[in-house]
Chains A and B, each alone.
Chain A
Amino acid sequence: MAGSTADRIDITGFNLYYHATRALEDITLAIPEREVTAIIGPSGCGKSTLLRAINRMNDLIDGVRTDGGLRLDGEDIYQRGIDVVELRRKVGMVFQRPNPFPKSIYENVAFGVRMGGNGLLKTRLDEVVERSLKEAAIWDEVRDRLQRSAMELSGGQQQRVCIARALAVEPEVILMDEPASALDPLATAKIEELIFRLKEKYTIVIVTHNMQQAARVSDRTAFLMLGRLIEYDKTSKIFTSPSNKLTEEYITGRFG
């Protein structure tokens, strides 16, 4: 079923516990390369938790344990000896609320590269910043004020700077946690357009509670409920003829 050729992320029998509660139960899901995979489901179903399992951001929360398999390019990212910092450079993330640093636009985009420690020449760094801002479709709006604070931008612009910031590190996978939920419809449309273009180069996993958005931007959709994966299939199939009754009820708006 799910992308037999090139699966970038392979999740098998994955469980996540928060203290005594099991937040994710036996998730099995293969996410193909250079596609957009949407994770949908009612609030508290564990969709963000699943997303954050892919770059191990859940590690920051006290009392989280996992078992089962979660492979990135065939490598189990939860095995001993995995460098989480290295993993997060391969798996970038965009958050629900735009969270630029209170630094200049330039410094925001250059941040990940600088922290990576490969002391780039200023001209090379300039190139990376420009390329990333172009890729994130915000270059034209900020090219004249790269040294101004990112905090002065609108919410939608801030979010695209955050995307540029993630792209600058040259990740393989980009995780997006409801990237447009704090934005107005116009800014949302821009982000969606951007996602559509980014999938030519990147594997994208997006969490959204907006079903139209999932239908618009994604190639595959995973439906989660109460920590279980209910259905995972091509988006066109999920939204036209879901095989599970719960999926159908959710997407037709009967609950959630």
Chain B
Amino acid sequence: MSEHSRRKVSDRLGIGMTGLATALILAILLVILGTMVAGGHRVISWEFLSQPPREGMTRGGIFPAIFGMVFSVLIMLIAVLPIGVATAVYLHEYAKPGHWLTKLVRGAVNNLAGVPSIVFGLFGLGFFIQFIGRGLDASLGKEMLFGQPCILWAALTLALLNLPMVIVATEEALRAVPRDERAGALALGATRWQTIRHVVLPQALPGILTGTVLVIARGAGEVAPIMFTGAAYFLPSLPKAPTDQFMTLGYHIFVMTTQSPDIEATVPIAMGATLVLLCLTIALNLVAVVIRSRTRNALRKGR
């Protein structure tokens, strides 16, 4: 075989292998989506989305699970965004890069990202509910208000789980802002905070938003952190306050597939619920893409 044809073969092989890997990923995605669509599309209707489950989850819809999911994700965002963004700003804009404390915090963030989500669930149970919740109840003279699983503690546990993601995404976005522009603002007599507020953060916003949407998607789908901290098997009514327990889509799917009294009747509903969750995640990612390209264009044009 000549050198030329040998190179041609290896080239083809390279394209083939990488192409195959890509095709495999696509195939997996299609199989998952296909299975869910095939098994679940028949149950999806307006009633399915707007009605509570009935008859031991063998009939009815998934509305309380969607409601609870949105509720918990909102509280999670309120908690995780300010803390995560602030931490990233501190680490990237204020802290000295070589300082041992900076390294320690960064190491902690990275390790936090590697902790399995079930551990967060157990931590939430021990720390938020047993320690903080019970403590609050004792000091407020309440009986079992905070010291039990509820949306608040589940959302905070989710926030903790997602904190590293927000920090890393924000730091990444801050890193993309040119040093020259910071120097330009400082040289004009802007304070460091003004520079961050008016020059750095506006440019980092698309990156932060992208991270936020990914965090929403992850928060909506995680089950392990919330199963001990607030999610309920079944509730007859919607939660009214953050101190109520809640139903949520991921946990609901888990419950339906493992605890149903009549698996035959539940499977289509479970598949439908999974389809809804998948579509929601995909839709969120699309929203992220749109927001990102819009802010980026607006920035380029300069408002």
Contacts and interface: CB of A to CB of B under 8 A. Distances in A.
> Secondary structure of the B side of the interface?
helix
A183 B288 CA distance: 38
Give the size category of A's interface with B. 20 to 34
A40 interface: no
Nearest to B177: A102
B302 A169 contact: no
A88 interface: yes
Interface in B169-225: 178, 180-181, 183-191, 194, 198-199, 203
A162 B180 CA distance: 12
Contact of A111 (B198, B203, B300): B198
A92 B188 contact: yes
B97 A62 contact: yes
A166 B189 CA distance: 10
Interface residues of B, number: 24
Contacts of A95: 180, 183-184, 187
Contact of B189 (A86, A103, A148): A86
Q: Which 5 A-B pairs have the closest CB atoms?
A: A149-B302, A89-B189, A112-B188, A93-B187, A99-B180
27 contacts: A57-B186, A57-B187, A60-B183, A62-B98, A85-B190, A85-B191, A88-B186, A88-B187, A92-B187, A95-B183, A95-B184, A97-B180, A99-B178, A101-B181, A101-B184, A101-B185, A102-B203, A102-B300, A103-B302, A107-B303, A111-B185, A111-B188, A112-B189, A115-B198, A149-B300, A151-B300, A165-B188
A207 interface: no
Interface in A57-106: 57, 60, 62, 85-86, 88-89, 92-93, 95, 97, 99-104
A152 B297 CA distance: 13
Contacts of B183: 57, 60, 95, 99
A92 B183 CA distance: 12
A256 interface: no
Contacts of A218: none
Interface of B: 96-98, 178, 180-181, 183-191, 194, 198-199, 203, 299-303
A115 B300 contact: no
A235 interface: no
Given A57-B183, A97-B180, A102 B188 contact: no
B301 A149 contact: yes
A169 B189 contact: yes
B198 A104 contact: no
Residue among B199, B300, B301 with max Cβ neighbours from chain A (10 Å): B301
